[in-house]
Amino acid sequence: MNEIFGYFGALLIGLILGLTGGGGSILTVPILVYVLLINPVIATAYSLFIVGTTSAFGATQNYLKGRVDIKIGIMFAIPSFIAVFLTRRYLLTMLPDDILKINGVVLTKDTFLMLFFALVMLFAAYSMLKKPKLNLKEITQKKFISKLIMQNILIGVVIGLIGAGGGFLIIPSLVLFAKLPMKKAVGTSLFIITMNSLIGFLGDIHNPELDWNFLMAFTSISVVGIFLGIYLNKFINEKQLKKGFGYFVLAMSCFILLKEFYFV
């Protein structure tokens, strides 16, 4: 039964990625960990491959419709995918199995990753539910570049730790800093997520614990979902979808926090 729910979740991940250009990826790790009972460290590696491959198909579809700005996408992606790769290859492996011990209570590496993931989900839910207040004043080129690099390095570290694509962080940046229209920001976001996720996954590609048969099956279903999401995008009210998904992410983050604190 868990396997059926897990594969249904794969379809849902792709569907939401296709509809929103981000957000669906944040469901991947909870589905892998809590539904399919996969170790969180392996789950974040799986997530990078699943999200990266699924996003590649979505980015291609959007590119054919003229909704991907390649130049801006590459400029955004370079700092973040370097940070993702270094985080997966070095930072994650440097974290000890037991991160903190206080009065007999142990914070393990797995629990830390899931708690951090839940906090990122809370931030994602907030960004989806708040009313946008974009300050589109002119920014000097020097300030733009420095802000862009620092922000995307931070996004890369977060993506590397939690295995999510970061679309909920990337899309507002594309609208605010690159001044892309929303539909083009969604398509460009999928292009950036593809590079971030797949290059980040290279840091885990030699892990002997990876189950490639499972990974290919799960990813294939997710790819079907993204094509379905892209098709449905023209029929669904984007604002209502974003709000509804924001509440769902909020509920999921609260569930993870309660579950992980209970077992700490």
User: Helix crossing, 167-176 with 70-86: angle to 10°?
Assistant: 140
Kindly report, residue by residue over 12-30, the tens digit of the pLDDT.
888 887 776 666 677 888 8
Residue in the structure block whose two tokens are 């009065």:
103
Token pair, residue 218, equals: 């799960």
What burial letters (b/e) apply to 45-71, b meaning 16+ CB within 10 Å? bbbbbbbbbbbbbbbebbbeeebbbee
Spans of the chain below 70 pLDDT: 20-24, 131-145, 165, 168, 238, 242, 262-264
pTM over 0.85: no
Token pair, residue 82, equals: 């370097």
- Are 152 and 172 a contacting pair, CB within 8 Å? no
**What integer pLDDT is reported at residue 178 of this predicted model?**
75
Q: Residue 52 and residue 29: Cα distance in Å, rounded?
A: 14
